[in-house]
Structure 1
Amino acid sequence: MKILRKLALFATLAAALAVGQAGSAAALTPQQELVDKSRITFEKLITNYEFGELPGYLKRAKAVMIFPEIFKAGFVIGGEGGNGVLMVRDANQGWSQPAFYTLAAGSLGLQIGGQMSETVFTIMSDKALQAVLNDQMKFGGDMSIAAGPIGKGLGANTTTNLEADVYTFAKTSGLFGGVSFNGAGILRKDDWNGAYYGPGTLPQWIVIDRKVSNPNAQGLVNALAPY
């Protein structure tokens, strides 16, 4: 009888644990999922042999934007978009917590195919960072963007002449074969920032003033800390 009671108790505890785990999984918000994916993308690209100069660019950057999934697809009329995070470096406090943004663009032309890219944008100028914070960032024209060097191997760090406002490091798959972000706009996601940090939260409060924080973003902050 004692054995049966122990087995019943064990079964009850196991069921409770399973329900708790299911509840935790169900509680994963879209914002937290993006933060987790951003960390994975960053760790993947920063250690990628093809992006050996990324650490050097990152150490000179004013800020970084990480987009785990930028989708580009089209049939005659093309478009691209995805959600990502902005993080700003402070000389004394290190990297900020992430603020949420979205990238969107459309284009006309003969396009057939699809592509998904994991992308890190290194923001090199105060002008570009301010444009992001003012919700006025559009790549191309006054806001120059260029592809970061690839294929130089890990530890290259030979960056010398940084002329563009923003550099991109993108790992792509699909049929387009190249990534161009000219004409794309970066817009803040106020609803996501509010959901993650509190109603009415602005990116400035998160990345510059550092008035708010979320402990669940610490893993991403720690990933950037060495740079």
Structure 2
Amino acid sequence: MIKSFVRSGLFAALAGVLALSFTAASASAERLPKLVGEAISILETKQNSGKPIPPRILQQARAVAFIEVTRGAFGFGGSGGDGVLLLRQANGSWSAPFAFGQNGASVGFQIGVDVQRYIYIFNTDQGWKPFVGDGHLNFEALARATAGPDSDSTVADSGLPPVDLYIYSVSNGVFAGAAIGGQSVGGEKGVNRAAYGTADAAKIFDPKTLIPDYTKPLYESLKKAGANKSWYNLGK
């Protein structure tokens, strides 16, 4: 009876582990479609506002990312979120969306919870590469960032982008400060592997990668925003 009890206990434990693994895998598989949907909402909200991103900014971007960050604190707190990054291909099109995460501690005394939505426009490879790393890296130490300009005339007057990254805030909350000040960033392996069968950024960004059908509205929104071609290699 004791052996039977032990066997049944081990079986139950194993079943529990398998169930949790299946749930985690299922959650990861569902995550990229949600992130893409959030990206579409973020971009369209910004472009339909009184201060849309100038087409020239998007046209000369090396990469673009969309993220929703939740910040919560009672005194000293933290923040975190995940989003998607698309790399500009050699032919001017956009790559498959790559899932990344961002997190960090809040600075200063704060009370409350808010959700911030951002668009990151990367002007250099130095800017976007930390976002696809294997581990979470301190972005603030790796690249320069500033708020993005709101008009094409400003861009024309200033010439080429002077910094690695332009940050556009799509929502206003109770927390102030830079979106990525003191934050660490890196690729979301589970989400990417569930969507593409690999977490390797080079493979996901490869032009031959078949892009999920549900991403089509995101490319169409980018095209509408003036971000050049919206060619994509749909397949999944």
* Same fold by TM-score greater than 0.5: yes
- Provide the C-alpha distance between the structure 2 equivalents of 1:108 and 1:92, rounded to a whole number of angstroms: 42
Q: What is the correspondence of 1:1-227 to structure 2 with a 5 Å cutoff? A: 29-53=30-54, 55-67=55-67, 69-92=68-91, 94-135=93-134, 137-150=137-150, 156-159=152-155, 160-161=158-159, 162-198=161-197, 200-225=198-223, 226-227=226-227
For residue 77 of structure 1, report the CA deviation from its aligned partner: 1.4
For residue 137 of structure 1, report the CA deviation from its aligned partner: 4.7
Q: 1:142 to 1:35 in 2, by over 3 A?
A: closer
For residue 175 of structure 1, report the CA deviation from its aligned partner: 1.7
Residues 3-26 of structure 1 show CA distances to partners (whole Å, capped at 9, x for unaligned) of: xxxxxxxxxxxxxxxxxxxxxxxx
- Provide the C-alpha distance between the structure 2 equivalents of 1:141 and 1:34, rounded to a whole number of angstroms: 26
Normalised TM-score (structure 1): 0.75
Paired residue type of 1:221 = Y
- Provide the C-alpha distance between the structure 1 equivalents of 2:144 and 2:32, rounded to a whole number of angstroms: 29
Paired residue type of 1:80 = S
Q: Which moved more, 1:36-45 or 1:203-212?
A: 203-212
| Secondary structure at the counterpart of residue 104 of structure 2 | strand
Residues 9-47 of structure 1 show CA distances to partners (whole Å, capped at 9, x for unaligned) of: xxxxxxxxxxxxxxxxxxx92321221121121121123
For residue 110 of structure 1, report the CA deviation from its aligned partner: 1.2
Normalised TM-score (structure 2): 0.72
Deviating beyond 6 angstroms after TM superposition, the runs of 4 or more aligned structure 1 residues are none
Residues 100-149 of structure 1 show CA distances to partners (whole Å, capped at 9, x for unaligned) of: 11111113431123321111000111222333333465332331111113
Q: 1:137 to 1:163 in 2, by over 3 A?
A: farther
Aligned residues: 193
Q: 1:52 to 1:214 in 2, by over 3 A?
A: closer
Any stretches of 5+ residues in structure 2 without a counterpart?
1-28, 228-236
- Provide the C-alpha distance between the structure 2 equivalents of 1:143 and 1:119, rounded to a whole number of angstroms: 17
For residue 88 of structure 1, report the CA deviation from its aligned partner: 0.7
Paired residue type of 1:30 = R
- Provide the C-alpha distance between the structure 2 equivalents of 1:105 and 1:99, rounded to a whole number of angstroms: 20
Identity %: 25
- Provide the C-alpha distance between the structure 2 equivalents of 1:187 and 1:174, rounded to a whole number of angstroms: 24
Any stretches of 5+ residues in structure 1 without a counterpart?
1-27
Q: Which moved more, 1:97-106 or 1:173-182?
A: 173-182
Structure number having the greater strand percentage = 1
Over the aligned positions, Cα root-mean-square deviation in angstroms equals 2.3
For residue 157 of structure 1, report the CA deviation from its aligned partner: 4.8
Paired residue type of 1:172 = S
| Secondary structure at the counterpart of residue 87 of structure 2 | strand
Query: Is the 8 Å Cα contact of residues 98 and 204 (structure 2) preserved in structure 1?
Result: yes
- Provide the C-alpha distance between the structure 1 equivalents of 2:186 and 2:130, rounded to a whole number of angstroms: 10
Match of 2:17 in 1: none
Q: 1:181 to 1:202 in 2, by over 3 A?
A: same
Q: 1:139 to 1:145 in 2, by over 3 A?
A: farther
